[in-house]
Amino acid sequence: MPGVLDARDRNTALRKLTAGPLDVLVIGGGITGAGAALDAVSRGLRVGLIEGRDLAAGTSSRSSKLIHGGLRYLEQRDFKLVREALRERDLLVTRLAPHLVKPVPFLYPLYRKVVERPYVGAGLVIYDAMEGTKRPVPYHRHLSARGALRRAPALRPERLAGAMVYYDAQVDDARHTLTVARTAAAHGAIVLTRATATSLLRSDDGSAAAGERAPDTTGGRVTGARVRDEETDRSFDVMASRVIVCTGVWTDLVASLGGVQARYEVRMSKGVHLVMPRAAIDAETGMIVRTEKSVLFFIPWGERWIVGTTDTDWSGDRAEPTATGEDVDYILLAANRVLAKPLTRADVIGVYAGLRPLVAAAADTPTTKLSREHVVDVPVPGLATVAGGKFTTYRLMARDVVDAAVADFPRPVAESVTAQLPLLGADGLPAVRAAAQRLAEDYDVPLTTVEHLLTRYGALVPEVLEPLGRDRSLARPLLDGYPYLRAEVAYAVTHEGALHVEDVLARRVRLLIESPDAGVPAAAEVGAIMGGLLGWSRRRRALEVRRYLEFAESAAEALQSAADLPEPADSVLVPA
Ligand SMILES: Cc1cc2nc3c(=O)[nH]c(=O)nc-3n(C[C@H](O)[C@H](O)[C@H](O)COP(=O)(O)OP(=O)(O)OC[C@H]3O[C@@H](n4cnc5c(N)ncnc54)[C@H](O)[C@@H]3O)c2cc1C
């Protein structure tokens, strides 16, 4: 079936990858790699995508989950980035992924009426103007202090001079990445997770075509990659005419696997977010407030808020960056400067950290000042790398790196068509939305369940519900109090390539960050459903669950280690 990543049939993908030389091998299954695979395959190329862990296991499941122009980049005069990002946002909201990317209003509180309103207002006029007149989100609006408090009673009223409201959009980043990878698979890309590139293969004199001779890892053209299957610990070679490295903060490391020196430096900047219940902050809209260093977002996330973020240099483990007690306190203190009822650590349900892959300039440039624009490089023939950028602009990053990779391709390659390619679940969406009530009746589930599924799978909802006809137990909630169905766990295995309990609880459903106990109470249930489909023994199920508990424990450490919070500052923040 097109676009199905069936974890039970992983060997087929493995076999296909090694069957013969590919046109393009993409390394890295974050949003950039998934985007590059989709871009390349939809130009008619033979494409493979390998990911060392799970799709979106890196930064692409740990972002602020905004699809936005980036108001603060406007202040940095990064007009090109903002313009491009706004266009991408609108394309995603209207055509490419209307089921996944949703407009969201943000309130920008003002504290210095005379100086701030004209300054922020002018910025928002430019923000709106860059988008053009055909727009899927409303123009910004001015609010009085009373109007602001009506929308966000949580704000401290003293010194509040008014507010602006503007629109951006939000997305479940891991789900979006998965959907892009599935769309690539639907067009013929071979997608394999838990497959790590351990070296880049190179022809010895630079003249050999892919697969012509026994390759080594020094010398000329890059001709493929040696790959370790993390599930079996076996290695194999994948030959490809072009290799594209999309490994985010690992980009320099992966390039060096082939003895190639990246011509730019990727700096890692850690960003932490806190997840809180909706009841902790009384507001009907998202909010953005200034901090001393940058901005703080309050982002509505279903029944929760996501609050963040931080921006600090990181040089530790790239795979699992950790939040510290200091990070947690920084966010709470910054939030409490504008909130009437201070937040405490007891309000925090979850905390997560991610690493921004920033393309570095001078070593002493603060990461908040580094550009979010991307850099494409072709350091040696056969190899292209891309780094930097934002989730929002992944389609442009993908287009640019594929353009660079195939610039000297032996046959003509079509131009990128991804601006016209709706992601899986977007085609036919209005008809499935209209059929929501009928689907609820046919599968005997509440209408709210179908509505929940529509925001996650779009037009593919009938595919998720279909097994309920054979197994009614799949209609039960995975965990009481959360909208996820047991059927979604089964679908994660049969259609979304989930191989481990962590893949489901951290990225297919988001219980890792949404539940106060990191989804641990659901781990055994997930292990049982997955085990039934993947043929796990009782021992393997227990091992999988234990592995998840260890993973969830390390994620929660920051909250335990946080020291006592100082009293909130007296005054709200005002712009510098
Ligand atoms: C805190 C924070 C907030 C952010 N908020 C936003 C936002 O709101 N909006 C926005 O537009 N952008 C945001 N960003 C930026 C955005 O999230 C990133 O630019 C984007 O996710 C990077 O995607 P990527 O695919 O390049 O990297 P990643 O998602 O990290 O993917 C790289 C992948 O490569 C894999 N890999 C590494 N080495 C190998 C190997 N040898 N073999 C195989 N696979 C390998 C990794 O496992 C990983 O999955 C934010 C970033 C952070 C950190």
Please give the average per-residue pLDDT across 87-91, as a whole number: 94
pLDDT at 80: 80
Q: 1 falls in which pLDDT band (50, 70, 90)?
A: low
Tell me which of 529 and 220 has the higher pLDDT: 529
Average pLDDT value for the chain: 90
pLDDT at 547: 96
User: Is the pLDDT reported for residue 155 higher than 80?
Assistant: yes
pLDDT at 537: 97
Q: Give yes or no for residue 31 CB within 6 A of ligand 1.
A: yes
The whole-model pTM stands at 0.94
Q: For residue 522, give the 3-state DSSP assignment.
A: helix
Report how far residue 350's alpha carbon sits from residue 372's, in angstroms, rounded to the nearest whole number: 27
Which range among 143-152, 216-225, 270-279 shows the weakest confidence by mean pLDDT?
216-225
pLDDT at 562: 53
Q: What is the pLDDT of residues 91-150, one digit of tens each?
A: 999 999 999 999 999 999 998 877 677 777 777 777 777 776 677 888 888 999 999 999
What the block records as the tokens of 356 is 């921004």
| Helices 79-91 and 113-131, packing angle to 10 deg | 60
Q: Are 390 and 85 in contact (CB under 8 A)?
A: yes
Q: What is the pLDDT of residues 414-469, one digit of tens each?
A: 999 999 999 999 999 999 999 999 999 999 999 999 999 999 999 999 999 999 99
- Ligand 1 centroid–CA 168 distance in Å is 20
Closest to 131 in 3D by CA, of 84, 170, 164: 84
User: Is the pLDDT reported for residue 573 higher than 50?
Assistant: no
User: Is the pLDDT reported for residue 373 higher than 60?
Assistant: yes
Q: Cite the beta strand spans of 417-458 per DSSP E.
A: none
pLDDT at 124: 77
Q: For residue 57, give the 3-state DSSP assignment.
A: coil
Q: Give yes or no for residue 246 CB within 6 A of ligand 1.
A: yes
Pick from 31, 32, 63 the residue to mutate for probing ligand 1's pocket: most ligand atoms within 8 Å of its CB: 63
Q: What is the DSSP string of 100-144?
A: T-EEEEEEEEES-HHHHHHHHHHHHHHHHHHH-SS-SSPPPEEE-
Report how far residue 301's alpha carbon sits from residue 303's, in angstroms, rounded to the nearest whole number: 6
Q: What is the pLDDT of residues 505-550, one digit of tens each?
A: 999 999 999 999 999 999 999 999 999 999 999 999 999 999 999 9
Q: Which atom of ligand 1 is nearest to the CA of 257?
A: 41
- The helix (run of H) or strand (run of E) holding residue 406 is none
Q: Give yes or no for residue 294 CB within 6 A of ligand 1.
A: no
Q: Are 483 and 515 in contact (CB under 8 A)?
A: no
Report how far residue 266's alpha carbon sits from residue 510's, in angstroms, rounded to the nearest whole number: 28
Please give the average per-residue pLDDT across 7-28, as a whole number: 96
Which range among 115-124, 154-163, 190-199 shows the weakest confidence by mean pLDDT?
115-124
pLDDT at 363: 53
Strands 265-277 and 350-360 come out as antiparallel
Burial label, 408 (beta-carbon count in 10 A; 0-12, 13-18, 19+): exposed
In this prediction, what percent of the chain has a pLDDT beyond 70?
91
Question: Using CA of residue 349, residue 108, residue 165, residue 78, what is the dihedral sign?
Answer: negative
Q: Are 198 and 177 in contact (CB under 8 A)?
A: no
